[in-house]
Structure 1
Amino acid sequence: MFIAAFSWLIIGYQQKTQATASSGGIYPEGLIGQPRYINPLFSSYNDPDRDLTSLIFSGLLKYDCQGELVPDLAEKYTVSQDGKTYDVIIKNDIKWSDGEELNADDIIYTIQTAQDPSFNSPLRPNWQGVNVEKIDQYNIRFTLKTPYAPFLHHLTTGILPRHIWQSIDATNFPLAQHHLSPISSGPYRFKKLQKDADGNIRYLELTLFKDYFGPKPNIETLAFRFYPNQDDAIAGLNKGEVDGLSYITAQNKNKIQDIADVDLTSIQLPRYFAIFFNQSQNKALATKEVRQALNLTTDKKAIVDDLLNGQGQIINSPLDFNFPLKVAPIVNTDVNPSQAQEILDKAGWKQPPDEQSPVKNDQGITIRQKTIGRDAAPTLLEIDLVTTDWPELSDVGQLVKKQWEQIGAKINLQIVELAAIQQDFIKSRNYQALLFGEILSADPDPFAFWHSSQKKDPGLNLALYDNPKTDKLLEEARQESNSDIRTQKYQEFQKILTDDLPAIFLYNPVYLYPVSHKLKGVNITRIYLPNQRFCQIEDWYLKTKRIPK
């Protein structure tokens, strides 16, 4: 009788109440790599830095989960009729995590530091030609020399605390301890980190920032564990070390043991992978016929179908997908090794007869060669291809090597750690061919990736592409507010670029974000960068409470 009455009480309570999010709990997530610069002016180099920065720093604007720009530090903003003046009013009484007030001085310091070439920030191109001035403590004016259509997107740059950084000069800036123990203004603040015996960061904890000016998240603590590669990260998820991972590839999905207990969010980002040619480092690649032959031999469909399990999209230009201006796509070139060999034959890249004891590649095929200019000895069709030890790219590299060697090339595939590829190859542009990815923004202005002014680090022109015609088109397009005219200029840019073949564009992968069923409230519609998965972190929760209906 007592048990029955008690059961009715429970049923009655449940009928009259409803479960809702409650505060508290720890959400542990695994990231690939480790943080180096938890600093918005340098975080674009590294995924863990970008993830952490997005959680603890605030910009004037931010993206919501539909990919739209919304106010963050800004109360409101206005744009002049000529598109060259932006007035921004920031919110009052915003605190840094050390209790100091955030104001216009912090914003001006951040932008001027980004603009200063001695600090070598990869964001410098975004702020060139922009004058920033303080009207008063809560009013800032940005003045552009010429109109720049995507400018509002740059106002998402995280703001640094001037009182922390102003005394550190450019020489000592990269060594500052504040990169790994930052003072910030976002919904979470830095709490602690742990290193292993070799000095590698293995664990970092963020906790709620109680004085945060925006909506307070429900989850008290975010705990991040850092893994050297995706296999180790998946092992950590399987062992219960973490309840989610920043990213997994489609082919690794089946390595998750308790897949039924995991929610997989599938998102297509404006991100592409390509093989970038550094023609200055290789005589063969400097000839267009060789690049054409390699393009005709690259089977992109095999990459997407066999290596990505169909979880990707073939691309043929950097504007081929998810581009808001609807640039007409480039028609995919059919794979045609026979035509590729004809092109090489006509261009003088011949395979010596067997009686001359020719050099063979790893497929047992004779390597082509050609005497270029006044060279005494012939040049072998030999290319060093560098990529990272990320399994997806390693597999793509192996497949491309096999495909290219079928037409008489010799491919030396070098697979290195992500940190090493950034430091030892990309910064110095020390490669012949680079298999790598580029991440675009919400308004993917190609300037930073393909304008000749961006050939050297920290620019992102990985192919060292230099064409006055495309430079002019990119300069004009970014100043154009009329979307039809802007689209036309990008169409012309795309045609010239793909004809020049400074790179072979491969695919746009599907982004898989696995999290435990224990985590509730994740509702991502459209994002542009992996770190934007935290776009509505304030709605996530682990605990619930019951309230009256």
Structure 2
Amino acid sequence: MQRRQHFKPTNLSWERLVLLVAVFAFTLSFIVLLYKFWKDNTHLVPAFGGTYIEGSVGELQTINPWFSVTNDVNRDIVSLVFSGLLRYNPETQLIEDDLANLEVSSDNRIYTLTLKDDIHWHDSTKENPHLVTPEDVIFTFQTIQDPEFPNTLLRQNYLGVDMEKLDDRKIRFKLSESYSFFPSNLTLGILPKRSFEGIPISKLDQTLDFGFNPIGAGPYVFKSFIQTELSSEVTLERFERDIDKEEVFHLNQIIFRIFPDYTTLLSDIRNLDGVRHVPRNENGEPIIPRKFTATEYSLPQYVALFLNMERPILSDKLLRTGLQLGTNKQEIVDEISESLIVDTPLLEIDLADWRYKSDMQAAQGALFESDWHLPEKVRLQHLLEMRDANEVGALKIEPIVLMDTGAALTITGSIADAPIGSTLNSIPIVNHPTESGAWIISLPTLGNTGSIKLGTNSIKLQNSEGETIDSFYLWRTDKTKDFKRADEEQNLLERFIKTRDENLVGEQAVSFRDLYREKGMLRRRLSTDPYDIRVNEAGDKLSLTLMTSANPPQYEKIAKVIQKQWEPLGIHIAIVVPESRDKFEEKLLSRDYDILLFGQSLLDNLDSYPYWHSSGKQKLTGERSDLRLDAYNLSQYTSLEADTLLESIRQTSNESERSTSLEELREVLKNDVPAIFLYAPLYTFAYDKDVRGVALKNLSLHSDRFLTLHNWFIKQERVFKAGKNWWSFPGWMFGLL
């Protein structure tokens, strides 16, 4: 028989359980401490990777720096695929080195560029390295100078510039005259010479192979172009460059999706990280998806009313001043939901200057002294002149009379003033029956000699030799209603004179603005009275054509506001909006307008020379072939003083001299009033909240937002703070005790 064994229960299982719990608690606490140490001693920094997808509205054309000047969508892509010798820095607002280092001579005529080390084109490989060379640089700019080059506007920037290779890394640009803004021209993207070998210069804009598979030296390389049902899609990938070590680009890919319209763009908004140019609704609010952050920015641009100085009607400076004073800019920007009012093309605002304040009374005053007058002024001036003439001399007659045909007007006077033998309206005067030393005469109304006709009569008193002793203006009517109107006019005239001489104030006072001309006579103006159009001495009406473009649609709104604002000034505005862009450009080139509502861009150098120097005027010979595309002086403005200052600003590198010249130029333009500057447009850029580091700063072009792309990132990682690492953990632990 086997013996059954019995074991005594022990506490081993409980001890193990307690031990396990203790180990778990310790481990958990240690993990928590490690996590807290990690959080306290690290911080988030941008990490490499991520794809940024941006949507825009427009049309994709060939991706080439030579032909992207007028296409903002292409310019965005070009700015990343290509790099220039220099670049604009939106943070410092200065032109700085990019692919090359710059040296400038003291006279601003010689610019020496030294290419940085190891700059490669995107098609470069280890087996077949393709470096950016001075030959590429010279090819890029000398091609532009060729008369056959398709982009004539770009060619103007490099006229009078000689360039030569100094060695394997240096290029020298020599200008025919000093030009301190020339570095801006060297921000143009450099192109590889070997990609265009054998292509005629006149056909460079047709190089589709390169245009849709471009090779640049920028921070991003072109990877693909895809046409989808919704958009045209261009993909770029980060390109490792030695010159980017200080400004590292974190985003791995940039994808541009170009849509035909904003509605189509919104249909794909879930797949986008940014929207290039956000439109606004009727209330002026940006149409932004909820998950997006919006940021507004402006460019060195202005929208203005350019006054065609070669039109005789606008040669009157007082008229131009009146138009300036009669323009309410605040009302304009409110109407189109803008906010940044601009008063000068030099982008320097002086709000204290009276010329820039809307003042209808001052505007009326300037126009009152101009060659253009309201019918009320013409009539008032006529009445004042007749009154002044009637006030002196021997004849004392009521200036207005009510007389039926057949009646006679009896007039008396002193023989001392007009002896017997004198005549009044060719009728001999006779002694007064009272023999009081006076004469008497009756002027008939039957149409015979000396008759007083209906309307204005000039009554002349002449001596026996036919010499005029005195004359008197007399107005006659045979209608009671007209006589009452004329009597009211005379009453208003007297009250106007007393008001002018400060002898009448309050409700009885009468100013020029209180008068209205109706059926040839003045009466008190009513609130319901329409505004008359001003006329000149020849009787021509003050009617001006205001031309603008159909796009953007705000321009037509502004034109209508201007039309309404100037109507009370007695100015008729005919708005002209050509039905197509081609027709607008044709009228623009031929300066077929009195006033042009349009915008101009100063770019990064803020150079006003092309727009206000007389060399920028259009050549109007009547021949279409003589019209210049680069004639940017839209006001046809000529001023020797302005020309001299503009040339000085271009040539000097001394900031003090430049500032002084700018101030003087501002005064010249203010006094001459070649244009009325209105506002600078505000733009809205929107991006997903997951995109961080976006800071636009001071942009000169829309594409300049990518000049700070090295600050943008989507992915993040934690790294130890300076002086911290895992070995810092024990010390941190003791610090908690």
Q: TM-score with structure 1 length normalisation? A: 0.81
Distance 1:195 1:366, change over 3 A: farther
1:359 counterpart residue number: none
Q: 3-state DSSP class of the match of 1:522? A: coil
CA contact (8 A) 2:60 2:232 kept: no
1:544 counterpart residue number: 716
CA contact (8 A) 1:452 1:471 kept: yes
1:360 counterpart residue number: none
Q: Deviations over 1:316-356 (max 9, x none)?
A: 2111339xxxx999555332334434544642355697769
How far off is 1:386 after superposition?
A: 0.6
- The answer to whether the aligner puts 1:295 opposite 2:324 as a matched pair is yes
* Matching residue's letter, 1:138: R
- The answer to whether the aligner puts 1:102 opposite 2:132 as a matched pair is yes
2:176 counterpart residue number: 145
- In 1, the alpha carbon distance for the partners of 2:179 and 2:351 equals 23
Distance 1:302 1:233, change over 3 A: farther
CA contact (8 A) 1:59 1:72 kept: yes
1:512-523 equivalences in 2 (<5 Å): 512-523=684-695
- In 2, the alpha carbon distance for the partners of 1:372 and 1:297 equals 23
1:350-361 equivalences in 2 (<5 Å): 350=374
- In 2, the alpha carbon distance for the partners of 1:39 and 1:331 equals 47
How far off is 1:17 after superposition?
A: 5.2
1:527 counterpart residue number: 699
**Identity of aligned pairs, percent?**
30
How far off is 1:457 after superposition?
A: 1.6
- In 2, the alpha carbon distance for the partners of 1:105 and 1:372 equals 66
Distance 1:82 1:279, change over 3 A: closer
How far off is 1:140 after superposition?
A: 0.3
Q: Deviations over 1:296-322 (max 9, x none)?
A: 22111223455436x31x222111339
* Matching residue's letter, 2:356: T
1:209-248 equivalences in 2 (<5 Å): 209-215=238-244, 217-226=249-258, 232=263, 235=266, 239-240=269-270, 242-248=272-278
CA contact (8 A) 1:427 1:458 kept: no
Pick aligned residue for 2:371 from 340, 344, 347: 347
CA contact (8 A) 1:233 1:245 kept: no
Distance 1:244 1:472, change over 3 A: same
How far off is 1:519 after superposition?
A: 0.7
CA contact (8 A) 2:325 2:356 kept: yes
1:208 counterpart residue number: 237
Q: Deviations over 1:451-488 (max 9, x none)?
A: 22233323432333233332222122211222222222
Greater Cα offset, 132-141 or 426-435? 426-435
Distance 1:521 1:150, change over 3 A: same
Pick aligned residue for 1:368 from 533, 554, 564: 533
1:29 counterpart residue number: 54
* Matching residue's letter, 1:316: D
1:383 counterpart residue number: 545
CA contact (8 A) 2:56 2:265 kept: no
Pick aligned residue for 1:186 from 208, 212, 218: 218
Q: 3-state DSSP class of the match of 2:144? A: helix
- In 2, the alpha carbon distance for the partners of 1:522 and 1:418 equals 38
Which one has the largest radius of gyration? 2
2:162 counterpart residue number: 131
- The answer to whether the aligner puts 1:462 opposite 2:634 as a matched pair is yes
2:654 counterpart residue number: 482
CA contact (8 A) 1:365 1:408 kept: no
Q: 3-state DSSP class of the match of 1:132? A: strand
1:54-93 equivalences in 2 (<5 Å): 54-66=79-91, 67-74=93-100, 76-93=101-118
- In 2, the alpha carbon distance for the partners of 1:183 and 1:270 equals 30
Distance 1:316 1:472, change over 3 A: same
CA contact (8 A) 1:288 1:500 kept: yes
2:70 counterpart residue number: 45
Q: 3-state DSSP class of the match of 2:270? A: coil
CA contact (8 A) 1:194 1:204 kept: yes
- In 1, the alpha carbon distance for the partners of 2:63 and 2:358 equals 43
Distance 1:9 1:488, change over 3 A: closer
How far off is 1:506 after superposition?
A: 0.9
2:358 counterpart residue number: 335
CA contact (8 A) 1:41 1:122 kept: no
CA contact (8 A) 1:316 1:504 kept: yes
- In 2, the alpha carbon distance for the partners of 1:109 and 1:546 equals 47
Q: 3-state DSSP class of the match of 1:474? A: helix
- In 2, the alpha carbon distance for the partners of 1:287 and 1:20 equals 63
Distance 1:202 1:271, change over 3 A: same
2:190 counterpart residue number: 159
Greater Cα offset, 448-457 or 392-401? 392-401
* Matching residue's letter, 1:95: H
* Matching residue's letter, 1:368: I
How far off is 1:181 after superposition?
A: 4.4
CA contact (8 A) 2:65 2:189 kept: yes
CA contact (8 A) 1:218 1:540 kept: yes
How far off is 1:56 after superposition?
A: 1.6
How far off is 1:286 after superposition?
A: 4.8
- In 2, the alpha carbon distance for the partners of 1:408 and 1:212 equals 64
Q: Deviations over 1:192-245 (max 9, x none)?
A: 445689xxx94231312535454352223322333566x6488468x4353323
* Matching residue's letter, 2:183: L
- In 2, the alpha carbon distance for the partners of 1:179 and 1:458 equals 25
Q: Which has the higher contact order (CA 8 A, sep 6+)?
A: 1
Pick aligned residue for 1:315 from 319, 322, 342: 342
CA contact (8 A) 1:367 1:381 kept: no
2:466 counterpart residue number: none
Q: 3-state DSSP class of the match of 1:504? A: strand
- In 2, the alpha carbon distance for the partners of 1:245 and 1:54 equals 17
Query: Across the two proteins, how many residue pairs are aligned to each other?
Result: 525
Q: 3-state DSSP class of the match of 1:105? A: helix
- In 1, the alpha carbon distance for the partners of 2:537 and 2:190 equals 53
CA contact (8 A) 2:371 2:537 kept: no
Q: 3-state DSSP class of the match of 2:255? A: strand
Runs of 4+ off more than 6 Å? 1-4, 352-356, 416-419
Q: Deviations over 1:238-287 (max 9, x none)?
A: x43533233447864453241xx33333444322221223445x554454
- The answer for unaligned runs of 5 or more in structure 1 is 357-362
- The answer for unaligned runs of 5 or more in structure 2 is 1-20, 125-129, 377-516, 521-527, 618-627, 722-737
Greater Cα offset, 45-54 or 10-19? 10-19
Q: TM-score with structure 2 length normalisation? A: 0.62
Q: 3-state DSSP class of the match of 2:629? A: coil
CA contact (8 A) 2:549 2:584 kept: no
Q: Deviations over 1:111-135 (max 9, x none)?
A: 2233345434434443333221111
Q: 3-state DSSP class of the match of 1:514? A: strand
CA contact (8 A) 2:375 2:535 kept: no
How far off is 1:381 after superposition?
A: 0.3
* Matching residue's letter, 1:110: T
1:400 counterpart residue number: 562
CA contact (8 A) 1:263 1:516 kept: yes
